[in-house]
Amino acid sequence: METLLFYAFAALTVLCALLVVANPFSRNPVTSAMFLVLTIVSMAGLFVLLHAFFLAAVQILVYAGAVMVLFLFVIMLLNLKEEELRKIKRFSLVAGVVCVGAILALFLRSLIQARLSANLPASGAEGSTAALGKLLFTNYLLPFEIVSVLLLVAMVGVILLSKKELK
Amino acid sequence: MMHWLNNLSPAWQFVLFSAIKVVAAFAVLMFMVAYVVLVERKVCAFIQDRIGPNRAGPFGLLQPAADAVKAFFKEDFTPAHVRKVFYVLAPAIVMLPGLMNLAVIPFGSRIGNQPMVIADLNVGILYTFGIVSLGVYGIVLAGYAANSKYPFLGGIRSSAQMISYEIAMGLSVIPLFLLVGSLNLSQVIHYQSGGFLNWLVFKQPLAFAIFLAAAFAETNRTPFDLPEAEQELAGGYNVEYSSIKFALFFMGEYANMILASAMMVTLFFGGWTLPIFGLDQPATALWAGLVQIGIFLAKLFCFLVMFIWVRWMWPRFRYDQLMKLSWQRFIPLALANIVVTAFVLWVRS
């Protein structure tokens, strides 16, 4: 049953991700954004199958619920009409295929090297919120704080940019 | 019948009982949506010294049925300039959060040995916030799909409001979980058993006040009903909709209102418990299980009446006041509440 669900969610993730960048029916950026939301939600499904409930909930809450709504705002307010009409350029097509191919080769290589070794961490406990919180505030405290400072920098930058005149 | 049930494997029992609970909870929710509309109209009529709907059936009790039939048989007009796919999708997405959040609300303790909650997630509250945050898409897309100015502005206005108040709402409940030590909603209820003073509304009144105001804003109810604002802003995201699609927006608002009330009952008012006659412990007898569902519904109904009463008593905020209230009052207050609660817990331990 879990294997079946895994393949269903994995297929959905890949299909939606494809439709984000190469939708044959529509070149509307809003459609792409909505497919990205679906990709994120089906990835949350994969997290659930790994018993990482906290990650799944946060994935939906932060990425699907907050970040993508802001994406949608920006797309709608800019109303990119010419984006819809733009034809695919040959150069960007070739460059894109090369990039994707390189990344794919890297992934495949590491996948083949990794194998499924016996020393996989035992699943179950790592999904619990308390365990995750403990790890974040003990072993990974420094990276956690650095990330929050990074967000603060971004916020200060936005305020600076949106101020009309500097005193 | 019992024999056949006991012979089923645990997996099939789980599937069967879950299916029964899903259908029952869905039916009750839809029934409540229909009748809250009637209650709203009756209460409104009472406040404005009118009689209210009284033509369909005794005391107008069949009014919801008449409204539903009317909504279905009206012409479902699709304006020529709309973006079709999003136009059809948006009303469905608005209904979604209300229905999906139903899954984690504990609406009773147990009947027999079945817990009266569809999915007892250990991240229950995060799940509800995640689903609520997806509800914004319905409104944004409705505004975008209509492809004309008023709905678009309405959609932007309302989604900005929902995003702002989501943050205040999310921050306001964190002190609760510092106290309870779990994100599971059944644990939250268990914590509140044994005396009225254990209810979290008395331990965290500030958190409750912020959550209550944010719940009004999230469900787009007065005094935060800028998205609709029929009188001065010519409506909002739903201007281009007609017939059953319009009715879906309407029903979505009421479903969200019911779910917000259910969340407040669960988080702050002890859920299905009542600290008398031992009703704050999981039921062992059938009657106690049913009484506890009744307690939950009664508390829920009190909140719904309050939602309605506020709507007909209060004027709405201006848009800048509404934004200021969230970002400059509620969010700092909620953050302070978190720090103070954490400090008190640290000193005590």
CA distance A60 to B349: 34
Q: Quick check: B140 and A69 CB within 8 A? A: yes
Is the pLDDT score of A121 beyond 70? no
Q: Is the pLDDT of residue A120 over 60?
A: no
| pLDDT score recorded for residue A115 | 67
Spell out the long-range contacts of B127-130 with Cβ–Cβ below 8 A and sequence spacing 24 or more: B127/A57, B127/B101, B128/B101, B128/B104, B128/B263, B129/A57, B129/A61, B129/A65, B129/B166, B129/B169, B129/B170, B130/A57, B130/A58, B130/A60, B130/A61, B130/A64, B130/A65
Is B33 part of any domain?
Answer: no
Domain assignment of residue B2, yes or no: no
Residue B34 pLDDT > 60, yes or no?
yes
Which residues make Cβ contacts (< 8 Å) with residue B93, sequence separation at least 6? Answer: B134, B135, B137, B138, B141
Lowest mean per-residue pLDDT among A49-53, B16-20, B276-280: B276-280
Based on the structure, what is the number of domains in chain B? 1
Instruction: Calculate the alpha carbon distances from A4 to A7, A11, B39, B241 in Å.
Output: 5, 11, 46, 40
Residues in B closer than 8 angstroms to A61, CB to CB, are: 126, 129-130, 133
Is B122–A65 a contact, with Cβ atoms under 8 angstroms apart?
A: no
Domain that holds residue B262: 74-348
For chain B, what percent of residues have pLDDT higher than 90?
Answer: 19
Place of tokens 């978190």: B338
Contact A129 B159 (CB under 8 A): no
Buried b (16+ CB within 10 A) or exposed e, B49-65: eeebbeeeeeebeebbe
| Closest to A48 (Cα-Cα) out of B94, B126, B17 | B126
| Domain presence at residue B306 | yes
Considering only the beta carbons, identify the residue of B122, B152, B166 that sits closest to A53.
B122
Whether B251 is covered by a domain: the verdict is yes
pLDDT reading at A33 higher than 80? yes
The reply to whether B16 falls in a domain is no
Please name every residue paired with B114 in a beta bridge, in sequence order, or none if there are none. B111
Residue B14 lies in a domain: no
The pLDDT score that the predictor gives to residue B339 is: 94
Identity of the residue in A31, A54, A72 whose CB atom sits nearest the CB atom of B123: A54
| Cβ contact B163–A69 (<8 Å) | yes
For residues A48 and A57, give the distance between their C-alpha atoms in angstroms, rounded to a whole number: 9
Domain assignments of chain A as residue spans, ordered by start? 1-79, 81-115, 128-167
pLDDT per residue over A50-75, tens digit each?
A: 888 888 888 898 898 888 888 888 88
Looking at this predicted complex, what is its ipTM? Answer: 0.82
Cβ neighbours of A30 in B, within 8 Å: 86, 144
Task: Among 1.10.10.10, 3.40.50.2300, 3.40.640.10, 1.20.120.1200, name the CATH number for the domain at A1-79.
Answer: 1.20.120.1200
Identify whether the C-beta of residue B119 lies closer than 8 Å to the C-beta of residue B104. Answer: yes
